[in-house]
Structures are given as C-alpha cells and as structure tokens.
Amino acid sequence: MNPYWKDRGSPWDYDPGPPENRRWAELFARTPNYRGLGKSTLGKEVFRWHFGPVFYRGRLEDHAVKVLVVGQDGAQDESLAHRSFTGGTGSRMQYFLNYIGITESYLFLNTFIYPIVGQYDDGMASLAQDPQAPIAKHRHDVFNYVLDLNDVHLIIAVGNAAKESIVTWVRSRGGTCSQGAANVSLCTSEALGPLTKIVGVMHPGAAGQGGSAAAILADFKKALAKIKSWIDADPAWLPPDAAGSRMFDQPYKYRSAPIPFRDYPYGVPIRLGRGGTSSNRKDGQRSIQIFSARGVYNAGGVKLKYIDPGGGNQEGYWEEPGDVPYEPPKTNFTEYDSGPGSPFARLMMGGETGLEWPDFTLLGATAHPSFGTGPIYRGRPGQAYVLILADQQDHDDLFSGRAHTGESGQRMQVFLQSIGILKSYVIIRILPVDTLDLSEARIASIVNHAQTKKVYQAIVDKIRMENPDLKLVLTFGPHAQTLSQSLSPGSLPVIRLKAWKEQGALQDWQGRLPAIGQIAYKKDAANPSLVYNGQKGQIPRFDLPYGTLRWQGNSGDRARRPVDLSTNRLSPDYYKLIVPDWVFQLKPLPL
C-alpha cells in the first residue's frame, strides 16, 4: 500500500461536493460580502480573501450527520483543499472524533467562511455575533439546514469564536445560555434538537500562540468525560459509526489523526490532511506554498527561487452577473465536476488489482510521492465524443485536481470549441506525476514502461466501452503520441498535434483542422468554425471540483515549482499557487 494513504482509506473514495437535489450549494452561494462588511465595520481588510471562502468538510447527505463541529475560520491548507478543518486543528479534532467512535458521521463548519487576518477580537465579534448582521444570519441559515436534514446528537464548539457562535445560534432559536460562551454545555440544547447536546473545547491553535498544550489536553479530557457521562446515561444516544469504536478505556493523548480521503474532492494533493499543516502563505497573501511530507513550513533552511509567472490577464475570462472572481460561481452554483465516478477513479488512481501505477520515483520522477497521482483527467469519462491524450504542460493541475488547467489547457479549450466540442470530451494527462523537470529521454522511458502502458490501455479501453459515441482521438505532445502508438484505440481515428509549448504549435494546430473536419464525429455544436487563432479561454466550471474559485483555471499558468539553489535543480518538495494581478488588485465590492 502507498505509505501516504495510511489510515485515510483510498484516494478513489472522495467527496463529490454538495448533492444537487439539496440546497447546500445555493446556501453557500449566498455568502455575504465579507470584504465589504469588514471594511465598513472595522475600516480595514480583515479577511484573507484572495483564495476565497471555505464552506465545509464532511457529510452533506440527508441523515448522515450525528456530530457537528464548529470552529473559527480556515487557514491556508483549507484554502488549497477547499474544505474546512484540513490543517493542524482539523487533524487534532479528527483524532478527538475517532476517540469517541465517530469516523464518518460528522460535519465541520466555521464561524467565518473566509479566513480572518489576525485574531478573533471584539471587532470581529461584532461582525460575527450580531443576530442581525449578514454574516451571522447566513451562518444561521447554514446551521439550521444541518438540523433540517439531520438528527444531530452532539455539537462541539472549538475555540471562543465557535462557542460564541453556538450561543448566538441557540438564542436565535429561542433557547438560553446561562453562562454564555464560558460553558456552552449549559445552553438549552433542546432548542436545536431533542437529542442534541453541546460541548466546548479550547482551540488547538492556542498552543502555537503562547498557550499551553497541557491546558488544551486537560480541557479536551474534560469535554470527553462529559461526553462519556452522557453515553453512560444513555448508551443509544451517540452510537459509534460502523468503522469506529470507543476508546474510553485508553488514556486520551493530544494526538492528530489523518483526514479520510472521502472528505476531499477527487484529485486534491494527498499531502493535504496527513496530520498537520502542509502549506504557508507567501508574498503578502498573493500565494500559498505547499510542501511535501519531507519539506518544512515556509521552506525553513532551504533557499528557493521561483520564476515569476507574470501577472496574468483576463483573456477568455467571463463571469455571470453577481459572481465574484475570488469565490466559486454564485449564479450557476451547481456548475462543478463531482468527480469521475468510483470505477474510473479507482482505475485512474492505480487502485485496480494488476493495474497499479509503477513506482515513478524508481523510474526517475523527482517530485515527492506525497503529492500523489491525482490530476490525471479532466472532462467526462462517461460522456465523451472525443478522447484527448495530452502531455503535462504546467503545474496548475496539482492545485486544481484536474488535468490541463493552466495556459495550455486554456488554449486547448478554445481549440476544442473550434471543432464543435464544448463539453463532450475527456482529457487524460501523460503522466499522472510531475515530470516537467525531466529530460525527454527520461519521460519517454517512463511512458514506455510496460506497467505504465498497461494502466493507460485499461483507461482507454474503459473510456471506449463507456462511450459508444466516441469517434475521435486527439493527442497533444510527443509523449502522448508515443503512448498512442503503443496503445490500441480500436478503429478510432487518431489526430496527432504538438503540445502548446512546443515550437510551432499554433501552426500545427491550425494545420490539423482540415483533417479533423473530414472525420464524422458527433459534436456539441453544429457547423463548427474549424478556425483557431491562438486564443486563450478559461477552464469551464463544470470541469472543476466544488469550491474552485472563478480566477482559477484562467490567467495562464498560476503555479510554479521552484529551483533549490543548493542543487540548481527544481525542488522536489515545494510548489506555489499565485493569484493573478488583476484579482489581487480588486477592491472590495460596495455593500
């Protein structure tokens, strides 16, 4: 088994995002104007808005939540995963839940959907706890919807902000809290549900801000003793999950637990959620740097040099009225990719018996294996008229969880439109690990490895089997071409093109259009132009996981892998995602 999968389940078990037949996506899309509210109330920017909001982690299905965990706000790991409680605090609380036998039936939410600047103080409390304030009202709408769909037995408030939020919520539903945030267990929890009980704990982050880890441990033990007393009084009150077991017979230790893959979108770097913080903010909020399991926070002791990706521009960018570039779609909020489906996910992750990916490190790949093999596809593996095999061209895929989301993919998107393909495609990347630092000969040797070809053949076979209307294969780049010549595409015609960053790519793409026009394949748009002039579009939102921001998937390449100055080679342990200039310079929207 991959050592970076330990105690996390399988990476093909993933969170598809909010169920489309429920109001979750709509509620999240109604996020109020955090930036405007902060500026008007406190006279300054008080939210880290550049990488957008973080809504939840856990179960959104009906009758799936027994435990609701409420915190303060997310941090940089949460911003990369687009899921709450992903970093150090999330891992601490994951172990807390495991200890009481809750391994799946939970939902993590926060006081603030946006990360805050600095600490929670009186000024922030005025934004968060005024019952008539937009942030509090929106939060209550989300919290109340949890109760509408679930029989919540236990609520855990993590930190002072969360405790105050629970008090505000209980009072909004007609309940009382005789000691306020000082002891939320004394709130009239029946205002939330007949079986609901509430407990508060200190925020684990306090240990990193001059607080005492011993005090946090003592507080956690106190909360666990309270939960155990409730279970002893009524053993049926909070039954353990099927995969969980009580650990009350063991001394509680202040530990972290890895976060299950099923809590994350398909393709998220498996580095995230392994038991602690995995990234740090850089460049005055303009970037987030992720580090491998071998790397260190803020690259301490390592000298790195990033090549500036440029400011980016808005070529091809568009949005619906009401959308915000640093949030997911607010208008077409159901436009997101829920993942490839379990059979495809298992196959593309190397999870089928006999179809495991080879050890890419042994074959010469240098990127640390803790980043995973996720971003291999984009599109609809089960609803494709065109299959695309394409060489890796950028590092954006690591952060998007989908193949070809940087500049080459943005140009490919317009090319596909020119041949009448708007949505009915599937893109498979060559290879599933980062090889941009390797020689052409080394990449070719990995592509030609027998096990590599075996896995790709199985992927192509399954795509062909699932898509009777598939009539065309396009390859982009020399390694995709080499692989396509080794595979059997059946009777499908194959058109081979250069990768965008190869010399002469534009002329090559233009020169292939007449041949494509001669092939009888099904199209999304009748009478395509068969004209491409090198334009750049944006990656459609329906290709990207839930939570992806509007600015992601456009403005060219937004990710970089740095040079380690001690070796003068690309570092195997660090990557950075960078906000484009035009977003970074945006002012708050007026209220």
Low-confidence ranges of the chain (pLDDT < 70): 1, 207-211
Tokens of 359: 């050890």
Q: Which domain holds residue 563?
A: 287-584
- Rounded Cα distance between 420 and 425, Å, is 11
Same domain, 343 and 203: no
pLDDT at residue 122, as a whole number: 78
269 part of a folded domain: no
Same domain, 328 and 217: no
276 part of a folded domain: no
pLDDT at residue 211, as a whole number: 66
Same domain, 337 and 245: no
Please say which residue of 264, 279, 307 terminates a domain: 264
590 part of a folded domain: no
Same domain, 202 and 338: no
pLDDT at residue 453, as a whole number: 97
Question: What's at 200, amino acid-wise?
Answer: G
pLDDT at residue 208, as a whole number: 60
pLDDT at residue 476, as a whole number: 98
Question: What's at 175, amino acid-wise?
Answer: G
Same domain, 121 and 228: yes
pLDDT at residue 209, as a whole number: 62
Same domain, 296 and 220: no
pLDDT at residue 210, as a whole number: 60
pLDDT at residue 491, as a whole number: 86
Same domain, 233 and 336: no
Closest to 576 (Cα-Cα) out of 361, 269, 326, 263: 269
Residue 571: alpha-carbon gap to chain centroid: 23
- Rounded Cα distance between 366 and 379, Å, is 28
Same domain, 251 and 369: no
Please say which residue of 201, 231, 264 terminates a domain: 264
Handedness of CA 420, 424, 428, 429 (dihedral sign): positive
Please say which residue of 231, 264, 297 terminates a domain: 264
Same domain, 380 and 524: yes
Q: For residue 180, what are the β-bridge partners?
A: none
Cβ–Cβ contacts within 10 Å for residue 141, how many?
12
279 part of a folded domain: no
* Pairing assessment for the beta strands 279-282 and 154-158 based on DSSP bridges: unpaired
Tokens of 27: 């509620």
Same domain, 255 and 348: no
Same domain, 54 and 188: yes
> Residue 356 carries which DSSP code?
P
- Rounded Cα distance between 560 and 327, Å, is 22
Question: What's at 550, amino acid-wise?
Answer: R
Q: What is the CATH number of the domain that holds 109?
A: 3.40.470.10
281 part of a folded domain: no
- Rounded Cα distance between 49 and 193, Å, is 34
Could you tell me the CA-to-CA distances from 558 to 405, 410, 554 in Å, in that order?
A: 9, 12, 8
20 part of a folded domain: yes
3-state secondary structure 217-279: HHHHHHHHHHHHHHHHHCCCCCCCCCCCCCCCCCCCCCCCCCCCHHHCCCCCCCCCCCCCCCE
Q: At what angle do helices 34-42 and 122-129 cross, to 10 degrees?
A: 130
Cis peptide bond N-terminal to 431, omega within 30:
yes
- Rounded Cα distance between 393 and 499, Å, is 8
Q: What pLDDT, in 10s, does the model give residues 89-115?
A: 999 999 999 999 999 999 999 999 999
- Rounded Cα distance between 83 and 265, Å, is 9
- Residue pointed to by tokens 């008229």: 385
270 part of a folded domain: no
Number of structural domains in the chain: 2
461 part of a folded domain: yes
Same domain, 188 and 66: yes
